[in-house]
Structure 1
């Protein structure tokens, strides 16, 4: 019995350093990256013991919250401009910024067999075309660039409905309030293909690249979980998830 107690005590002591090194980081995540980040966070905790507490929303709103002292240690933005701005303003750790994903835009409808290709925008009757706010959302800006490329800026202007972010733009279409809309492929992909509904994947040449950058924020500078998460995002395990949701990597 004494020997068993000694072994149990040694086993407990051996576990203490592991528990002591586990940490938690609050992460601001762009709405388009919701599904892949939920999967990555689960793997990250299983593999490292660290925990990523996720908040999802518009990158522009996160920028304001970070300026107002929000406790985020890491930002996973929907663009490269906001992380670069935060870094230049001294709110992010210099040299920590890197692209974690290149987004893919898709014209999507919740109706099956509704969208074949870009001709849907001139061939199918519709009242509402959903996009994210192009002034604050990179996917919205990419949608407007696509419409311009197709010569449809003026003809679609009266039918556009704008979501505050890409999550709301997707919800307008999913709920039937808009017949179709430009959303992130990650929102509608299932096992590498578009799941429910129908869609047309917009060629990357139709709009500027949707480069999404990660940034270590000042509040995460000394947080081992924040640093570990950024390294994990560069790993093969994370890349597998990211690409499965329709993103490309640099």
Structure 2
């Protein structure tokens, strides 16, 4: 965490006890940014959906039924409130995300340090599903990993604070349904560099120009992410929302 020193300067305090001062602080430190509070009081909020990540290895030999069901690409098995999303990766691997619409309290009640108990609890939500699908949960070769989805407000922005700005998830954390998170972070970095190069003697002018373009760009992507999330994960849309997304993309590309 840092503190303001005035004149756009900040003192940074690191975990090893060291400190340093800077005239330009760029918070590229992710969803739970330590830099964000210097410019904004916004905090990520849980959006109501969690994913549990698992892997199956050597699938064609060890998990042939699941491998055949998934095929050579991706599989989406969705019903209102839950689903199994899986794609094949190089090296004969199936990478699975189990989707659950649930409260933060419900998911917090699962002890993910006990892999067997957590797996059994998640699998229970899919009781009665085809065994080649539930095997993607119960036969995982890795311990289940919780990926709860958090997001900042769609319109997140801040007033100009001398000497500091944000990029990537620190600036515009959103759900993954626009598939733009990493792209935006890299683009933010490039645009910030271009702004500084265009104003080499005026950091504040550079940051103002960068943020002026950052905010509408971030809001547009976050809006798409939220719209797709509602289609993809809504309790009353699945699986038809996914079909709508795929059809719209096909129309756009044709």
| TM, length-normalised to structure 2 | 0.24
Asked which structure has the greater RCO (Cα within 8 Å, sep 6+), the reply is 1
TM-score where L is the length of structure 1? 0.24
